[in-house]
Amino acid sequence: MKKLNPFQVVTASSLTAGAMLAALIQTLIRKEIISDEEGHEIYEQALLMLETSQGQFSSPDVFEAAREMIEQHLRRH
């Protein structure tokens, strides 16, 4: 594996976690374990949780980026 600086490691970890979660939700919908609406609700709940913890973020830019990523999933449904 390529040697990464700490910022790159955190970014890669975050991308991996987000991709895995999105894939999990899509798989649950495809296998009809949850409905498309329930998948949508998961992203809505994540957005709500993010908004209620906004004060804990040291960087408004980080909060805004996270919010935009979740909203992208909501627009797909």
Q: Give domain status of residue 69, yes or no.
A: yes
Q: Give domain status of residue 57, yes or no.
A: yes
Q: Give domain status of residue 1, yes or no.
A: no
- Kindly report, residue by residue over 53-69, the tens digit of the pLDDT: 776 666 778 778 888 88
Query: Is the confidence at residue 47, as pLDDT, over 80?
Result: yes
Q: Which residue has the tokens 């409905």?
A: 35
What percent of the chain is modeled with pLDDT above 70? 92
Q: Give domain status of residue 15, yes or no.
A: yes
Exposure of 63 by Cβ count < 10 A (0-12 exposed, 13-18 middle, 19+ buried)?
middle
Q: Give domain status of residue 53, yes or no.
A: yes
Q: How many domains does the chain have?
A: 1
Owning domain of residue 37: 6-76
Query: Is the confidence at residue 1, as pLDDT, over 80?
Result: no
